[in-house]
Amino acid sequence: MIDKINDLIDRVKAFQPKAAQEIEDFRIRMMGKKGELNAIFEEFKTVAPELKRELGQRINELKTLTAERINELRDRFAEQESADGPAIDMTRPGSADDLGSRHPISLVRNEIVEIFSRMGYTVADGPEIEDDWHVFSALNFPPEHPARDMQDTFFIEKNPDILLRTHTSSIQVRTMEHQKPPIRVICPGRVFRNEAISARAHCIFHQVEGLYVDENVSFADLKQSILYFAKEMFGESSTIRLRPSYFPFTEPSAEVDVSCNLCGGKGCNVCKHTGWLEIMGCGMVDPAVLEASGIDPAKYSGFAFGMGIERIAMLKFGVRDLRLYFENDVRFLHQFDSVIG
């Protein structure tokens, strides 16, 4: 029996686990119910009384040694693990970053800006919180005139009126106030109108408006510029038509329709079977507007146009509901990942 105990003592001393789990297995094998130690204790009951003293001491040594060794090994492994941090598999492939992409409104705005910059336009910017003069009065909307009802306005302060701009025409006024003709600017930006939100209307949307003022600018120049834009934006085969309309700041004024690029003008659901899609308003700048900004209408003439970016993007990408632009649902946004802009 003494040999067996000595052998176990040697095994305990020599035990070198490679993983924490091996320590637990070893503990069960040695100290578990059916382990080596219990077997020794059982055998001990049967030894001759004169041997008990020496054997008993040796068994106790084995027991203490085993318990100490297990504790020591456990501590060592715990220390190592906290020094290394949790086990990391360095060979695993990294998780790819989810790259964002441009919002469809930005894509279309950039494209509009790009097309007009090829015609020599530069981008002008202005404040979203405006005064009455730059949004209405300088643009030939007299106070109390019913034309103001065309753009239901969010007012911030009354007398004097401070409001959220309802169109980016305010930037055109600011440009004319600070720049002498020739002027060729486009004004992209966010605008605000007090509209109930639906699939076709929103209280916040985006516009690009343009202004061209120089000597001898004619309606033919306006029409040709818009035609060029429509072909660049919607395809070479696109045509336009102008319908007479009314804006206080232009005379004459027109709405521009582009031929429906889905049915090629034959008529479909999107163009409501007319073959035409409305894309913008335009007209020759009213002489009163030039005069209000300090430009001599006897010497200069100009044209202006304005379009909603959401609307152009809807036609270009086939988006049916305006609200999708504002919800930031990545399932919608990721569909534009491959569009370069």
Please report how close the Cβ of residue 302 comes to ligand PHE at its closest, in angstroms.
11
Closer residue to ligand PHE, CB minimum distance, 59 or 187: 187
Closer residue to ligand PHE, CB minimum distance, 69 or 190: 190
Helix (H, G, I), strand (E, B) or coil at 103: coil
Please report how close the Cβ of residue 283 comes to ligand PHE at its closest, in angstroms.
5
Closer residue to ligand PHE, CB minimum distance, 238 or 250: 250
Beta bridge partners of 188: 208
Query: Within 10 Å of residue 97's Cβ, how many Cβ atoms?
Result: 6
Please report how close the Cβ of residue 282 comes to ligand PHE at its closest, in angstroms.
5
**Which is nearest to 286 in space by CA: 306, 304, 266, 264?**
304
Closer residue to ligand PHE, CB minimum distance, 222 or 319: 222
Contact in structure between 106 and 341 (CB atoms under 8 Å):
yes
Please report how close the Cβ of residue 285 comes to ligand PHE at its closest, in angstroms.
8
Closer residue to ligand PHE, CB minimum distance, 26 or 249: 249
Q: Please give the backbone phi and psi of residue 66, each rounded to the nearest 5 degrees, phi first.
A: -60, -50
Contact in structure between 312 and 233 (CB atoms under 8 Å):
yes
Please report how close the Cβ of residue 221 comes to ligand PHE at its closest, in angstroms.
14
Closer residue to ligand PHE, CB minimum distance, 27 or 311: 311
Both structure tokens of 107: 């894509």
Please report how close the Cβ of residue 185 comes to ligand PHE at its closest, in angstroms.
12
- State the amino acid at position 158 in one-letter form: K
Strands, sheet with 240-247, edge to edge from the N-terminal-most edge strand: 122-123, 183-192, 204-214, 301-308, 276-285, 250-259, 240-247
Please report how close the Cβ of residue 86 comes to ligand PHE at its closest, in angstroms.
59
Both structure tokens of 273: 């079977």
Residues at the contact surface with ligand PHE, assessed by CB under 6 A: 167, 169, 209, 247, 250, 281-283, 304-306
Residue number with the smallest Cβ distance to ligand PHE: 306
**Which is nearest to 179 in space by CA: 211, 208, 207, 209?**
211
DSSP class of residue 253? E
Residues 261 and 315: their CA atoms lie apart, in Å, by: 9
Closer residue to ligand PHE, CB minimum distance, 12 or 304: 304
Contact in structure between 187 and 125 (CB atoms under 8 Å):
yes
